Amino acid sequence: MGQRERLDEAFAGSSSEAARARERMAAAQGGSRDIPPRSRRIVGWTIALLIIGFFVAAFAGWIDIFPG
């Protein structure tokens, strides 16, 4: 076996390991990004209500946004 053949085998082994690592990372990211539409809607409304509540409290004088 020549030096060239050994290098080709070494590169093939490392590239297949890298490909497997990329596949594992893609699988891990894909599973965590799948949010159901109902949950997305609940989170959106919660954030919107918090923002609206903050402004209502600020204008009603319950909290001071700018001190002084």
The stretches of the chain forming alpha helices (DSSP H) are 3-32, 37-60
User: The pTM is what?
Assistant: 0.46
* Contact status, residue 65 vs residue 58, Cβ threshold 8 Å: yes
Whole-number pLDDT of residue 51: 96
What are the average pLDDT values for consecutive 10-residue runs of the chain, which has 68 residues?
63 70 76 79 97 91 75
Residues 6+ apart with CB under 8 A from 58: 64, 65
Q: What does the domain layout of the chain look like in residue ranges? A: 1-34, 36-68
Whole-number pLDDT of residue 30: 65
* Contact status, residue 57 vs residue 63, Cβ threshold 8 Å: yes
